[in-house]
Structure formats: C-alpha cells, structure tokens
Amino acid sequence: MEECVLECVEAKPCFDVNFSSERDLPSSSSAADMEKKDEYNYTKTGEFTSEIYKIEITGLKPPFGFGELKKFLNQKMKLNSSKIKRKGSNSKVVFVTFRCEEDRMKAIQLLEGYKWKGKCLSVKKANPAADPLIQKRHSENANDELREAFDISKLQEGNVPPKIWLKNIVMPLWEKPYNDQLHIKQLEIERLLVKLRNEISKVWSFTPVWLRGVSGLTFQFLDCIRPSPVVERYRNKCEFTVGLDPVNDLRTVGFRLSSYKKGSVKVVDPSECSIVPEKTLDVCRVFQDYVRRSIYEPYNPEENTGFWRQLTVRTTKDDCMAVIVMHTQDLSIVRLILRLSVTLV
C-alpha cells in the first residue's frame, strides 16, 4: 500500500446529538435492551446535546425560506441558535435549540410577542426529541416491525445478501447500464427544475416574464449530462463507520445498512462497492484489522461507551489521507495516537 498520512481526531465531549440527521451513528444495543430504555436517556448521560435547550416558535406566516428564518434569528435578533427545524414547508411552527440555558431564555424574552412578517410570535420552552429507535420499539408492534426489517435471517431467506443490500443503498443504479443511469439522472434533474419553477411561482407575489403563459419545464438546458471517462473507483472521499457485521458480528469498518433513525445497527464491508478506490479499500482493510485486534470496542452512542467511531479517507492520484475519529473517554489521547502511528503508518 502507498504511503498514507494519518490524522487522529478525538471526539469532543460536547458533540451535539441530533436525531434528525441521516448521519447519526448506530447503536449495538439489542431490541430487548431498547425496550427497557428511556426515550430521553441520551439527555441524561452527561454528554452535551442542544435538545435540552429547545424552544417552540408559533404564529409564523408561511411561506418563508429556511435561510430567511435563520438570518432573522441569528443576524437581526442576534440569537446564537444551534439547530432550526420546521415541521413542514408550510408549517407555522418551528423548533430552535441553543447551546445553553442563558441563550434559550434570551430568545424567549426577545421573540415573545415580536411582530415578524405581520404576525405576532409566540414562544415557549419545548421538550427534547425522543430517541427515534427506542421510540419505535416502545410503540405498538414496533419490535416485530424492526426485527423483520433488519433481521439478517430475513435477508438470507429472501436471497438478499447484506452486500447486495448495501450496494442498493450506496449505488442505487448499480445494476443498470451506464447510459441508462445518465438518462435517469437527466430526468431527475428536469423534474427538480420543474418543481423549482412551481415553488418560485408560489413564493413570488408577481409572475416574472419568463414564467408567464408557460407550462412544464421553463429552463433551457445548455447540454445534457456528459458521460464520465471514469465510471468506477472514482470516489475521492469516503466516510466509513466502525460497527458490527450483520452476519458474524465481527468488528467491521464500512458502510451502514441504513440510518440509526430507521433502526439500523450494522455495518457492511465496502469492498464490493465499485465507486470506492482500491487505495481507499486498502486503508480501510488495514484499519479494520487494527480495530479487530484492539482491546477497545467500537463506539456505542446509546451507552456512551467504546472508542472507534469513524474513518474518513481522502485520496488523490499520488496521495492519501486517513482521518480516524474516536471517543477517547479516559484513555490518554497521546498514548493512543503513538500506538496508532507505530501500528498503521
């Protein structure tokens, strides 16, 4: 394997738990353990989460853009918001989180009764979001549903190996010829532009000249999507999760089968994903071998235990950089970096 620059990153103890993101790290807890857990346990672990400093704003007048709302809160009102989440594109309700109680109280005082876009705002404290996986498993019939969705035996019975399932997630068009893939992507772009046109016509109070009397697509393409000379092994940045394989429970560095929010807790080897360069796969294998020999477990965000979290690999024609993210807890970061440097580089 070519020389690779190694960078180790300590997971800071003040990371923000955000269950609305598709990039949430999975837990290795069993369904039975989940049933006994509190849906809000993540707010009691001592780790930082802005969910405990949340407010609910009502009375907003749609339509308004996310960027417009963010600018109003952070620039005009000078609030230090952490996350902003709308219930829907036309919702009159918005949830905003902050990094401390002082910032939350400041927001309540400034926004309560404030007139924005002709409407008076109402503000109150809001409860944290429930852990989506635990919430599902507490709900009626949720256990059977989740076990069926991610039980490896179900995959085997349906002749769908985890690696094929992973390819369907990471490369959803992998079974189609390349020219068909381009055609599908072209149609998706056209549909997106039609949707953009319709949304613009809803927001603007007047109809611009280029929208008048025109139906369907109103954009002129300069050219169709051009085929790439390289159709495999082209991804120059890959982010891998450290977790357990769904078949043998071995520690694995690869891609997740799905998101934490959807109930996925397993990681599959990426070697059959044709978009990942061989150089990246080599780095992934070396780190995976190290993790399997390590006395430290993969990180479990549910229990706030374990160490190995993520591997990011960036490659160019001649160079390669690996960034390892870990949750060190009481382990000396200096001692760990020295050990990694001797073992991997």
pLDDT in tens, 146-174: 444 444 444 544 567 888 888 988 999 99
Tell me if 6 sits within 8 A of 326, measured CB to CB.
no
Q: At what angle do helices 333-344 and 278-293 cross, to 10 degrees?
A: 120
Share of the chain above pLDDT 70, in %: 66
Q: What is the pLDDT, as a whole number, of residue 295?
A: 87
Place of tokens 């672990």: 45
Q: 45-72, pLDDT tens digit by residue?
A: 677 788 899 999 998 887 777 788 889 9
pTM of the shown model: 0.64
Q: What is the pLDDT, as a whole number, of residue 142?
A: 45
Determine how β-strand 237-244 pairs with β-strand 122-126: unpaired
Peptide bond into 161 cis (omega under 30): no
Residues sharing a CB contact under 8 Å with residue 128, sequence separation 6 or more, in sequence order: 40, 43, 49, 51, 52, 54
Q: What is the pLDDT, as a whole number, of residue 137?
A: 58
How many beta carbons lie within 10 A of that of residue 213, not counting itself? 6
Q: What is the pLDDT, as a whole number, of residue 195?
A: 78
Tell me if 226 sits within 8 A of 135, measured CB to CB.
no
Report the SS3 class of residue 279: helix
Tell me if 306 sits within 8 A of 291, measured CB to CB.
no
Q: What is the pLDDT, as a whole number, of residue 7?
A: 53
Distances (CA, A) of 272 to 233, 237, 321: 11, 17, 22
Residue 217's pLDDT band (boundaries 50, 70, 90)?
low
Task: Please check the confidence at residue 143 and state whether its pLDDT lies above 80.
Answer: no
Retrieve residue 144's tokens: 């059977």
